[in-house]
A and B are shown apart, each in its own frame.
Chain A
Amino acid sequence: MGSAISELPSHRTPLADAAETGLKIVVVGGFGVGKTTLVRSVSEIRPLNTEEVMTQAGVGVDETGDVATKTTTTVAFDFGRISLNERMVLYMFGAPGQERFWFLWDRLFSGTLGAVVLVDTRRMDDSWYAIDRLEHHRTPFVVAVNRFDDDTVRHSLDEIRQALALPEHVPMVDCDARVRESGKNVLITLVDHLYELAMAQEATP
């Protein structure tokens, strides 16, 4: 995780004054799979960390209750950004994939364009829940396999597709989350997929 060499400025880099459209995508996956590494490799800013405090109910906190006795959960997440042009900026959120965070995920990332599921072949079980929830919410996604150097048993994408029971229409891509070009390729794979879906949808009245 620490091997990505960051040349990003430490001070704040403001967006262009003409920036008007913020877009978002989510990177999900198990702990230690390289979500933040991927975000860092493509982001124009050093990834920032923020948090959301929510009630277990998952709806707005009621106004009359006693704040001190509420059951709240804090979820922290990292994000980075890419200025696509003078007007559009894409935010990438690294979201914890564990089951216990998913009711938070639903609220935090509503309106996302799509998702990248980052997979570590040594711990494929970690991807199940994320894929299941994305399918449930009909959030379009691609699966990116982060190839670690010490991955001695190198499974093919087809083998991984079978292991994850992924339908044919879900694109898969190999990546090295530390490498900018590779991370960029993952994002392009996702947006290409979204574009194809949108075109198909627009063709059927």
Chain B
Amino acid sequence: MTRKPVDTGSPDRLYTVTGGRSRADGFFDLVTLVVSECRPTPGMQSEHARTLELCEHPTAVVEIAAELKLPITVVRILLGDLLDMGRITARHPPPTRSAASLPDSDLLKEVLHGLRNL
């Protein structure tokens, strides 16, 4: 926890990166896996270009945020742009359940199997 908050008092950079927007639609979960559908093009916003490079292989939203050193909210907005332009695809986690319900036992069995084989 040694990093300084990016935002406190000076949100200018984030404001610029997102073109002034400050709301993400929640479409991208922390562990949604993002895959590039094209290479960066000249003149593209640098954060977009960097995201496309990172996502040459599937990359979770939270990893993109860590690599770009940007808050997750900002990354969600950038990803929304790229998705709208058809430059990425998103592989979502299993559908969000209500808080009290559990994932499918078959899925959990697969998780257990994976952990035991580590």
Contact = CB atoms under 8 A, between A and B. Distances in A.
Contact of B110 (A81, A88, A108, A201): A88
Nearest to B97: A111
Interface of B is mostly: loop
Given A53-B5, A60-B24, A22 B29 contact: yes
Given A51-B71, A111-B29, A137 B102 contact: no
Contacts of B115: 82, 84, 90, 184, 187-188, 191
Given A63-B21, A81-B60, A198 B105 contact: yes
A198 B108 contact: yes
Interface residues of A, number: 62
B72 A50 contact: yes
B22 A82 contact: no
Contact of A67 (B15, B54, B65, B109): B15
Interface stretch (B42-50, B78-86, B88-96): B88-96
B101 A85 contact: no
Nearest to B68: A50
Given A16-B57, A19-B57, A21-B91, 20 more contacts: A19-B33, A19-B58, A20-B33, A21-B94, A23-B94, A42-B118, A49-B3, A49-B66, A50-B72, A51-B3, A74-B5, A76-B3, A82-B114, A84-B110, A91-B30, A93-B62, A108-B30, A195-B112, A198-B102, A199-B105
Interface of B: 1, 3, 5-8, 11, 14-15, 21-24, 26, 29-33, 54, 56-60, 62-63, 65-67, 71-74, 91, 93-94, 96-97, 99-105, 108-116, 118
